[in-house]
Amino acid sequence: MNTRVLRALEAVTAERAEGAVLSVRGLTVRFRMRGGRQVAAVTDADFDLAAGECLALVGESGCGKSVLASALLGLLPGNAETSGTAVLDGVDLLTADERTLARTVRGRRVGLVPQSPAAHLTPVRTVRSQLEETVRELTGVARRERRAAAEAAAERAAFPAGHLDRHPHELSGGLAQRAATALALIGDAPLLLADEPTTGLDRDLVERTVDELRRHVDEGRALLLITHDLAAAERVADRVAVMYAGRIVETSAAHRFFGEPGPRHPYARGLLNALPDRAFAPIPGMPPELTDLPPGCAFAPRCARATEACATLPEPLAGVACHHPESPRA
Amino acid sequence: MLELHDITAGYDRRNPVFTRAALSVAPGESVGLLGPSGCGKSTLARVAALLHRPDAGRVSLDGTEVRAWRHRAPRALRTTVGVVFQQPRMSADPRLRLRDLIVEPLRAAGRRTGIPARLAELAPAVGLTDDLLARRPHEVSDGQLQRACLARALVLRPRLLVCDEMTGMLDASTTAALVTAVEAYRAETGASLLAVGHDRLLLERWCDRTVDWSDCLTPAGGGSPTS
Ligand code: SF4
């Protein structure tokens, strides 16, 4: 790629950083294990997320995407060490103390749409009482208006008013997901973080869930969608970031990633090719151990394009961290 | 290979999960059973895998009528079927190393001498390295554990493999790798497959034919759907 194009791309990146709701730079997470071992769960993640934009963070289980989400919420276990910055609305999520996170971040600046809504809801209380409780915690709404505020939240998440007095176990999977989303929306957080929100759901429910999330994006929220479901990502995302062995190896516009010219990083290409409506071909081998990463490209042992150059770490260039990316066809 | 006639099953006789379901899988055939979650298809899969006794109906496996389920089923019949579930963590003994998890059915069958040879065949077939074989379930990913669960299901060379949402929580590449391993086994042995799931795209790509759960059920007042 020539320098003019690169410069133009950088300008776009800079512009993006300025309008960003969330700006992540050099985010790194290490877990200290017994025997002095260290797990390199996330390494040097950079990305920006703007209002009205959905970024899908995709990759296989163990690639670090859920750890990254936990880092943003300040929910990492005690043996984790983080570095880098993740600035949301002037607050660095990585250095903020628990009090700040609990009082001003979780629910207020970041709304979490959980992986398993059934487990996220309190089983012994009705949906209405949980919504009202969250309204009380997160907003200044006066007591007598809480009921209306809870109903409004339910409506925004397309949760039917007739089901508000039910307990979580009386809800279908789809309605439980909407109840959890309604809770996530109450604090009017500018950033929604959805961690595998469609795991275990049937395809039509997956589509409905992501379509509803998209609606909240179109209303001006930023959405970070963590998922291993590429079809869900294709349906909802504006941009896609692919993680492999703790690093973001490619960031791309969703329509270019899923359509033409397709992914440029060999791993991303392999992941897409594994889909049953594409080649249905697995990538040979398995991801490396995060305790024992090679100094160069972590994908090299599985990569058909690897050369000697790949023994050194590829720097991200125009969104792709690879020494020999596939050349754009279009 | 597998015939399920007029099966009624559930966990409470007065309130069965489904009534009068039918399904058959021919020798060497692969059938995908599609249905939404909670419809009862997993219960039918457990009946087929001899893990759940139906309240009514007839099951025959490889030409033999099944009269007993679970540990009461004759060993020869039980070893005809291998089964893999959606949640590897719920089906794998957390104390066993993957290597022991895989060969445990061989041990239970008293076939200890065959263990090293069978392990040497299966581990590469499902993509497990020596390092991974030496670990316990909490030390591996879901995908790696599911590879071990598949190897375990294949260790006694079943003539029918039942996969209940085997790849439900796995990424695209691990899904394709597991399906490739199943198909390599079937190509080598001629085994049949019943794959149960809700992903139409996946099952249509994978199986010879797919059946919708609603088509397995006898319409009220009608005869058996396969008759
Ligand atoms: S840097 Fe080399 S080994 Fe890594 S993905 Fe690119 S070509 Fe393959």
Write the pLDDT tens digit of every residue in A32-76.
888 888 889 999 999 999 999 999 999 987 788 889 999 998 888
CA separation for the pair A78, A98 (Å, rounded): 12
Does ligand 1 come within 6 angstroms of the Cβ of A201?
A: no
| DSSP code string of B64-125 | EE----GGGS-HHHHTTEEEE-S-HHHHS-TTS-HHHHHHHHHHHTT-GGGHHHHHHHHHHH
- Kindly calculate the radius of gyration of chain A based on its CA atoms and give it in whole angstroms: 21
CB A45 within 8 A of CB A24: yes
Q: Report which of A222, A224, A232, A163 is spatially closest to residue A199, judged by C-alpha positions.
A: A232
Provide the H-helix boundaries in A201-261: 203-218, 230-236, 254-258
Residue A330, C-beta contacts closer than 8 angstroms, at least 6 positions apart: A260, A261
Band the pLDDT of A303: cuts 50, 70, 90: very high
**Which residues are paired to A252 by β-bridges?**
A240
- Shortest Cα–Cα distance, A139 to chain B (Å): 36
- Within a domain: residue B227? no
Q: Which residue of B has its CA nearest to A227?
A: B171
Q: Nearest to residue A264, comparing CAs of A253, A280, A275, A274?
A: A253
> Domain for residue B47, yes or no?
yes
| Residue B202 within a domain | yes
Q: How far is the CA of A278 from the centre of ligand 1 (A)?
A: 22
A169 touches chain B (CB under 8 A): no
Question: pLDDT, tens digit, for every residue of B39-90?
Answer: 889 899 999 999 999 999 999 998 899 998 888 888 888 889 999 988 888 8
Look up the pTM and report it.
Answer: 0.85
* B36, B127, B176: residue with CB nearest A286: B127
List, in order, residues 6 or more apart from A139 with CB less than 8 Å away. A149, A186, A187, A188
Q: Which ligand 1 atom is nearest residue A298's CA?
A: 4
**Bridging pattern class, strands B56-61 and B2-9:** antiparallel
Q: Give B200 to chain A, closest Cα distance, Å.
A: 8
Question: Cβ distance A31 to A66 under 8 Å?
Answer: no
On whether any CB of chain B is under 8 Å from the CB of A291, the answer is no
Ligand 1 center from residue A265 Cα (angstroms): 8
Say how many domains are in chain B: 1
In a domain, B221, yes or no: no
Q: Which of A3-12, A199-208, B145-154, B168-177 has the lowest mean pLDDT?
A: A3-12
Q: What angle do CA A34, A36, A37 make, to 5 degrees?
A: 80
Query: Which structural domain, as residue segments, surrounds residue B138?
Result: 2-216
| Closest CB to A228 among B129, B171, B204 | B171
Domains parsed from chain A with CATH numbers: 1-50+60-105+236-276+301-330 (3.40.50.300), 116-188 (no CATH)
Nearest-angstrom CA–CA distance, A258 and B128: 30
Asked whether A326 and A266 are in contact (CB, 8 A), the reply is yes
Question: What residue in A sits closest to B166 (Cα-Cα)?
Answer: A200
Question: Is there a domain that residue B114 lies in?
Answer: yes
Interchain contact, A270 vs B173, CB within 8 Å: yes
Whether residues A228 and B141 touch (CB distance < 8 A) is answered with: no
What residues pair up with B171 in beta bridges, in sequence order?
none
- The pLDDT tens digits of the residues spanning A129-178 come to 999 999 988 888 888 889 999 998 888 888 889 999 998 888 877 788 88
Q: Is A80 exposed, middle or buried (0-12, 13-18, 19+ CB in 10 A)?
A: middle
Which CATH number belongs to the domain containing residue B62 in this structure? 3.40.50.300
Q: Which residues of A touch B171 (CB under 8 A)?
A: 59-61, 228, 271, 274
CB-ligand 1 contact for A222 (6 Å cutoff): no
Q: Which residues contact A70 (CB under 8 A, 6 or more apart)?
A: A76
The ipTM is 0.85
Is the Cβ–Cβ distance between A153 and A131 less than 8 Å?
yes
- CB A324 less than 6 A from any atom of ligand 1: yes
